Structure 1
């Protein structure tokens, strides 16, 4: 495998890893926001 192909492959792997981290972060942030809405809604009438 040529050095250029190896560099391209490593860059693609890093992009995939970054995309996975971003998706995990966004999913957790959205889940936390939904949890916060339920928490605040439950405690609004008490």
Structure 2
């Protein structure tokens, strides 16, 4: 084989094959990412609400 033929085969192999998919762009992956984010937001909101309720409780029972 000549050098030119080898280069042509390599270029065709790179351009002809689609890149390997890791699943990061699939719809299922995106849905799971959104679900995880929603669960984290819900958990964080409840923790914050519990902290605010604790502050109100402590404020009501503080020595005046």
**TM-score, structure 2 length as denominator?**
0.58
What's the C-alpha RMSD, in Å, of the aligned pairs? 2.0
Give the number of the structure whose residues are more often helix, by fraction: 1
User: Which residue of structure 1 lines up, in the alignment, with residue 63 of structure 2?
Assistant: 45
Q: Does 1:10 align with 2:12?
A: no
- Structure 1 ranges of 4+ moved more than 2 A: none
**TM-score, structure 1 length as denominator?**
0.79
Aligned length: 42
Structure of greater relative contact order (alpha carbons < 8 Å, 6+ residues apart) = 2
Q: Which runs of 5+ in 1 are unaligned?
A: none
Q: State the structure with more CA Rg.
A: 2
User: Which residue of structure 2 lines up, in the alignment, with residue 19 of structure 1?
Assistant: 37
Q: Which runs of 5+ in 2 are unaligned?
A: 1-20
